[in-house]
Amino acid sequence: MRRLAIVMAALAVLALAWCGVTVLWGEPVTGAIHHAQVGALERRLRTEEAQAATRPRAASPRVPAVADGAPVGRLTGRGIDAIVVMGDSVADIRKGPGMWHARPGYGRTTVVSGHRTTYGAPFRHLDGLRRGDRLKLVTPYGTFVYRVTGTRIVDPSDVSVARDVGHERLVLTACNPVYSAAQRIVVFADRV
Residue 103: give its domain's CATH number.
Answer: 2.40.260.10
Total domains in the chain come to 1
**Domain housing 8:** 2-191
What was the pLDDT predicted at 168?
95
Bin 80: left if φ > 0, else alpha if -120 < ψ < 50, else beta.
Answer: beta
Average per-residue pLDDT for the chain:
87
Per-residue DSSP letter, 162: G
What does 95-118 look like in DSSP terms, one character per residue?
A: HSPEEES--TTSSSEEEEE--SSS
Helices H / strands E in the chain, number of each: 3, 8
pLDDT tens-digit series, residues 53-105: 676 665 555 566 788 888 999 999 999 999 999 998 888 888 899 999 888 98
Distance from C-alpha of 172 to C-alpha of 29, rounded to nearest angstrom: 24
Radius of gyration of the chain (CA): 19
pTM of the model: 0.76
What was the pLDDT predicted at 174?
96
